[in-house]
Chain A
Amino acid sequence: AQSVTQLDSHVSVSEGTPVLLRCNYSSSYSPSLFWYVQHPNKGLQLLLKYTSAATLVKGINGFEAEFKKSETSFHLTKPSAHMSDAAEYFCVVHFGNEKLTFGTGTRLTIIP
């Protein structure tokens, strides 16, 4: 079965420290993978996208994600957290049909 799992529902980091948000997917082939960010009461904004080109994908606001086929993972990282990064982050997978499959989200809290 095709699925996407975000391993942490909530992550807290101190301002200026690294961020790691984890995502694993289950699929028999390499899908397209995305990270979206949602600030409170707002729509989703595309952070970055992987579509079988370079395995390390750079996105907006200093975020990047690495596609690891052997681990079926697509973890999101940022070297240094900023207060404005506090939001909910969704790992999203396109398995080749008409739908996107969303993870349940990770809420990122930044500690001043």
Chain B
Amino acid sequence: DGGITQSPKYLFRKEGQNVTLSCEQNLNHDAMYWYRQDPGQGLRLIYYSQIVNDFQKGDIAEGYSVSREKKESFPLTVTSAQKNPTAFYLCASSIKLGTDTQYFGPGTRLTVL
């Protein structure tokens, strides 16, 4: 059963702590993306990767970091430098970078206490 998985579904963090969100896909897609969603706003692009060991900053990369050591995995770290990290985080993938259809995971809701 192909798809994108994100874990955990809910995550709580104390201020000043780094936290890593998992994203795994078994669709054999080259490109992967991380988005942030806040109430009443569309999705905003944090980072994207077109291939293993390559990634680029999106529109709101400050306070976030990523890695792409395997094709299937694209974890996102929310660092203590992110001023307002409480949000819903969505991971997506597409066959290639620039191909239009992206497929989304179920999301992780991060709450900073």
Mark A residues whose CB is within 8 Å of B. Answer: 9, 32, 34, 36, 41-46, 49, 51, 90, 94, 96-105
Residues of A within 8 A of B9 (CB): 41
Interchain residue pairs A-B with the least CB separation, the first 3: A102-B42, A94-B100, A43-B104
Contact B97 A98 (CB under 8 A): yes
Quick one: which of A34, A42, A96 has the most chain B CB within 10 A? A42
Residues of B within 8 A of A36 (CB): 104
B98 within 8 A of A: yes
**Given A90-B43, A102-B43, A103-B42; A44-B90 close (CB under 8 Å):** yes
Contact B42 A104 (CB under 8 A): yes
- In the complex, besides A36-B104, A42-B107, A98-B56, 9 extra interface pairs with C-beta distance below 8 angstroms are A44-B90, A45-B104, A46-B103, A49-B101, A51-B100, A94-B100, A98-B98, A100-B102, A103-B42
CB of B22, distance to nearest CB on chain A (Å): 14
User: Could you give 25 example pairs across A and B, Cβ below 8 Å?
Assistant: A9-B40, A36-B104, A41-B9, A41-B107, A42-B106, A43-B90, A43-B106, A44-B90, A46-B101, A46-B103, A49-B100, A49-B101, A90-B43, A98-B50, A99-B45, A99-B48, A99-B58, A100-B100, A101-B42, A102-B42, A103-B42, A104-B40, A104-B41, A104-B42, A105-B40
Contact B106 A97 (CB under 8 A): no
B105 within 8 A of A: yes
Quick one: which of B50, B101, B105 has the most chain A CB within 10 A? B101
